[in-house]
Amino acid sequence: MMQMQSVENEPILAVSWDFGQTLAELDTTMLSARCAERGVAVPVARLDASVMPAWRAYNTAVRAGAGGHPWQLLMRTLLTGAGVAAEEASALAGWLWTEQPARNLWRRPIPGMIELVRALRGRGIPMVVTSNSEGRLAELAGELGWLDAFDAVVDSGRLGIEKPDPRIFAWSAGRVAVPPSRVAHVGDAWSADFLGALGAGMRAVLFRGGASMPEGAEYPAGDPRCARCDEASELAEILRGWGVPG
């Protein structure tokens, strides 16, 4: 699915990217292995089946004001949905949270996305990550061999400001010396990424973000600053329509 509006404004000069669920998704194979380290057997297939309900609970919590990154709620919901007893799931979620800075679970590449980042940067378009994370996102990008694909990594855990606060988007634009109005931000979260970027004056692409939209929310189809898509190839087309060389 791809929806966009043509724009007559000046072309986009830089692209900002959310990280989790946009460039890389939860690695359920790694999560299963980590649970096994604590003596808890959780089949990967059960974790995969529990991912979407867990994200729905996460998004509901965010909209209710739980903060931009209620990580342990997401993990508890995911584990209980996969059949782990509630008390055990809570203990596992707490342990995994303490381990997350060193053993980040969001490391399974989403098809085509980092390749698109590299292709765009190879054409001279600045790339910046703008993420609500735990403070070690640059190290994770380094582990994955991705750090050289970005001009900057803006991590809320280090900056002390979380999306959708417009200051984090302004900081990202400043790191690549481009006005926010000439930056496109790509992310999966309705509030943190999509509405946050629009509120900061950027253009916004909602990537695979249907589950993050609250009940009753409507995508602003008439706004030429907006687009949404599900695949890297669709995103490339959107960015070309906004004047990014392709």
Neighbours of 189 (CB within 10 A): 27
pLDDT digits (tens, 9 = 90+) for 7-54: 456 899 999 999 999 999 999 999 999 999 999 999 999 999 999 889
pTM over 0.85: yes
Residue with tokens 């602003």: 220
pLDDT digits (tens, 9 = 90+) for 106-139: 999 999 999 999 999 999 999 999 999 889 999 9
Structure tokens at 23: 């460039």
- Determine which of 17-31, 36-50, 56-70, 175-189 has the lowest per-residue pLDDT on average: 56-70
DSSP 2-54: EEE----SPPP-EEEE--BTTTEEE-HHHHHHHHHHTT----HHHHHHHHHHH
Q: How confident is the model at residue 215 (pLDDT cuts 50, 70, 90)?
A: confident
- Determine which of 44-48, 208-212, 220-224, 229-233 has the lowest per-residue pLDDT on average: 208-212
Neighbours of 77 (CB within 10 A): 22
Neighbours of 4 (CB within 10 A): 20
Q: What is the pLDDT of residue 74?
A: 92
* β 14-17/183-187 pair status: parallel
